[in-house]
Chain A
Amino acid sequence: MIYLLQQALNALQLGSIYALIALGYTMVYGILSMINFAHGDFFMVGAFLCFIVATFMQLPFLPALLISMAGVALLGVIVERVAYKPLRQAPRVSAIITALGVGIFLENFTLALSPYPKHVPTIIENTTISLGGLTMSSLQTIIIVLSIVMMTVLHFIVQHTKVGMAMRAISWDKNVAPLMGVPVNHIISITFALGSGLGGVAGMLYSMAYPVIDPYMGIIVGWKAFISAVVGGIGNIRGAMLGGYILGSVEVLVAAFLPSTYRDFVAFSLLLVLLIFRPYGIFGKPRTQKV
């Protein structure tokens, strides 16, 4: 029983991080119908920003969090403006390739600056609470609680603010929204800022939990988060959160029964099966093409 609870807690921690990243994929997809293949690398940049802030400025947790979040949000906005915006009318393939290119650029750029894996110093005291055999670290608590708070805020923004309404309008119909007075470019930038910012937070939290970071760390984690988004139905915000926790649980389960090297294998096979049988995920809706 205790063991099960402990595992559930681990699943919750991992799932929270996936969910945070998955939100970035889903928001961008919802609004631009484009998969931002570079998003996993935004996450990596978040981790590196945390490293820089913690190592060279020795800032405490909260400022570090804000800097990671704002820095990656800015990165997202710039990437969208420079690389994606000119391609909005271009064939979709061009956008996919560009996003892949941006991702690899970020990886190799970071690698060129920092050829060796880095160790992120601890920025919060890691105390563990023990509750009748169930141990829970303060870090774990922060990751889970903070993620849930962030997601709640995001959900509120999308559902109950003017900006959120504009986002939903654009994702409903890109061509009509500007006619209704929605400032499309502006809203897209905000979407990228929010999505990337959450990715940055995820990067920071991840680097606190697994403090050895390298420029390629975003690839696998990013893809896993993407799987989460697809599981939930890409473009759907609640779906992304649910998908994150589902994948987190699946991975913890796999790790409990199989050698850990099978984890990726299972995750990606799950994606493949899902794409073949239910490509629109749990909350998504199938699209038909008009002839």
Chain B
Amino acid sequence: MDEPREGKLRWMPAVFLAAGLAVSFAIPQYNLLNQYVQLIIMYAGINIILALSLNLINGYMGEFSVGHAGFMSVGAYIASFLTVRIFPPGAETLLFPVAVTAGGIGAALLGLVVAIPSFRTRGDYLAIVTLAFVMIVKSALENIDAVGGARGFLGMNKMTTLPWVFLWTVLTVWIIRNFIYSNYGRGVLSIREDEIASSLMSVNTRQVKLLTFTVSAFFAGVAGALFAHVLQFINPRMFDIIKSTDMLVMVYLGGVGSIAGSILGASVFTILLEVLRPLEAWRMVLMPLVLVLLMLFRPRGIMGLREMALFVPSSDKSNSAGKVKQA
């Protein structure tokens, strides 16, 4: 029940949004933080979007996807192609949100395709399907000359700015939260718990899977679009299985089935990568090691199925889907 909130709290989201936007505008405007730190913040935001997107499938639904690098690349390529080749010069900054959305939609359509095998296969077999998907997208892109083939694609302006990253991140959190705390979201959780019981309790599991993969892929595509317009250069190799593994680390570090966990995991991951930069190549040795250690000692991550009250709609407090304590 959406009881009217206490007078003060009611305005909290609006205030938070306004303040966040103001700050994200102010930072680049007045150079409050140096360029490098600003860049890290933007990566953190993009990574939060990615982690949330993957968490939907791997955490909430309990399926297993390593395919999100594929969705991300599709979003990145579509958006970049639009801003560089299609949009009239001069208008591309104005149309940037359109490009990002288009990237998301393109990825979402592919998400639909990947959802279909998930009707019949689960666990490691689905993992392979998504992996094959990543490989197929990558080698398809390598063979498309219009986007530069294996050499990659460039010419994007640096249109991803702090305010954009902030807005998209907040939008992602909000929509994914809404999704989880709805009928469909509860369907997602029930599939994780027991797919057969789920369908016998009237959940249309195919519908739920289609929807979940679509939403998840959409945001991975959005993240890809934002990423391409920070880096201003993309090539198919950037979006291989290693990229998917980064996302896995973020999700399983922060915690499966938890929005707060994904935010935490993505932030810690991004910062850790920067802090460890002096280690050079050994940094990349550490990441998979962290992943293995996590699986051995804390397989559900820091937050592990628990949620912060902030991300639970007031109508669902005290009974949140994610409020289950760790077993």
Contact = CB atoms under 8 A, between A and B. Distances in A.
A105 B121 CA distance: 28
Interface string B281-298: 110110111011001100
Interface in B121-147: 121, 123-125, 127-129, 131-133, 135-136, 139-140, 142-143
Contacts of B124: 34-35, 92, 96
A223 B289 CA distance: 22
A36 B78 CA distance: 34
Interface string B8-50: 0000000000000000000000000000000000000000000
B136 A275 contact: no
B325 interface: no
Given A94-B299, A279-B120, A105 B285 contact: yes
Interface in B176-198: 196
A29 to B, nearest CB: 9
Contact of A219 (B121, B143, B241): B241
Given A91-B299, A92-B123, A289-B196, A112 B282 contact: yes
Q: How many residues of A sit at the interface, in one of the four size bands?
A: 35 or more
B103 interface: no
A35 B289 CA distance: 19
Given A87-B295, A108-B285, A112-B284, A96 B121 contact: no
A93 B131 contact: no
A198 B249 CA distance: 31
Contacts of A115: 281
Contact of A112 (B142, B248, B281): B281
Contacts of A5: none
Interface residues of B, number: 43
Nearest to B284: A108
Contacts of B128: 35, 226, 230, 271, 275
B313 interface: no
A97 B248 contact: yes
A223 B58 CA distance: 22
Give the most central of B280, B282, B287, B299: most A CB within 10 Å. Answer: B299
Given A101-B292, A271-B132, 17 more contacts: A90-B295, A90-B299, A96-B64, A97-B295, A100-B66, A101-B289, A104-B242, A105-B292, A108-B281, A108-B287, A108-B288, A112-B285, A268-B132, A271-B128, A272-B117, A276-B129, A279-B120
The 9 closest A-B pairs by CB, nearest first: A101-B291, A112-B281, A104-B288, A105-B288, A101-B292, A108-B284, A265-B139, A101-B288, A268-B135
Interface of A: 34-35, 83, 86-87, 90-98, 100-105, 108-109, 111-112, 115, 219-220, 223, 226, 230, 259, 261-262, 264-265, 268-269, 271-272, 275-276, 279, 289, 291
11 contacts: A93-B58, A94-B299, A101-B289, A105-B288, A112-B284, A230-B128, A271-B132, A272-B133, A272-B136, A275-B128, A276-B120
